[in-house]
């Protein structure tokens, strides 16, 4: 015979309280940290002897140039890791965060000195779905893309079913980074 909770019974009231509490308890959070910024820099530019940390600062005119490239320049200041070997710049690592569906996705973009993408790594993923953006095949689509690439899901970047928002937001973030770095390169800020 099944147990029936009656609101007037002490045991029944406790059972109803437990059921109600369970109904309003948030589901488990899914947060996975895959790489640190330092690990990503070493993975992207393993031949580097050192990685300098710099802050790229854009002025108002440069922010307008980024906006003219069709992206919203979310920040005027961007922390960079500069990969160096024998005093030569091998490339840059830019870390950013975007919202997936509800939670932040932290990712790093490796860029060659010419401004094209050399690699994309997902550092932390906090969503319960859409983690497939971490798959190498999806991330490889960005390699070689530069300021002239559309960088749009459905055009030159494939979507992953069930991860549409993560795909779109990370793609938009990478497009923003490529545009910011192109403006910085043209302005001689990357030296």
Average pLDDT over residues 21-36: 61
Indicate whether 191 belongs to any domain: no
Residue 133 has pLDDT above 60, yes or no: yes
Q: How many CA atoms lie within 13 A of 152 on its CB side?
A: 6
188 contacts: CB under 8 Å, gap ≥ 6: none
Residue 12 has pLDDT above 50, yes or no: no
Average pLDDT over residues 109-137: 94
Residues 61 and 100 in one domain: yes
Indicate whether 44 belongs to any domain: yes
Percentage above 90 pLDDT, the chain: 74
Residues 85 and 100 in one domain: yes
Residues 148 and 55 in one domain: yes
Residues 86 and 125 in one domain: yes
Per the structure, the complete domain to which residue 164 belongs is given by 31-186
Indicate whether 91 belongs to any domain: yes
Average pLDDT over residues 94-117: 95
Residues 6 and 100 in one domain: no
Residues 22 and 91 in one domain: no
Residues 15 and 42 in one domain: no
Residues 158 and 73 in one domain: yes
Q: Are 78 and 92 in contact (CB under 8 A)?
A: no
Residue 72 has pLDDT above 80, yes or no: yes
Residues 38 and 108 in one domain: yes
pLDDT tens figures, 13-28: 444 443 444 344 334 4
Residues 148 and 164 in one domain: yes
* pLDDT (0 to 100) of residue 167: 96
* pLDDT (0 to 100) of residue 1: 45
> pTM (2 decimals)?
0.83
């Amino acid at each position: 015979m099944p147990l029936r909770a009656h609101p007037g019974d002490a045991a029944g009231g406790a059972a109803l309280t437990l059921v109600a509490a369970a109904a309003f308890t948030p589901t488990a959070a899914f947060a996975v940290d895959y790489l640190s910024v330092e690990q990503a820099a070493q993975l992207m530019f393993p031949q580097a002897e050192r990685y300098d940390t710099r802050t790229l600062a854009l002025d108002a005119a440069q922010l307008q140039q980024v906006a003219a490239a069709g992206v919203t320049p979310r920040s005027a200041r961007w922390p960079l890791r500069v990969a160096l070997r024998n005093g030569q710049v091998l490339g840059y690592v830019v870390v950013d965060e975007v919202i997936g569906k509800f939670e932040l996705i932290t990712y790093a973009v490796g860029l060659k000195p010419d401004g094209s993408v050399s690699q994309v790594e997902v550092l932390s993923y906090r969503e319960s779905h859409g983690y497939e953006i971490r798959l190498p095949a999806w991330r490889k689509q960005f390699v070689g893309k530069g300021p002239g690439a559309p960088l749009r899901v459905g055009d030159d970047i494939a979507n992953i079913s069930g991860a549409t928002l993560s795909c779109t937001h990370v793609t938009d973030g990478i497009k923003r980074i490529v545009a910011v770095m192109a403006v910085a390169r043209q302005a001689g800020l990357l030296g």
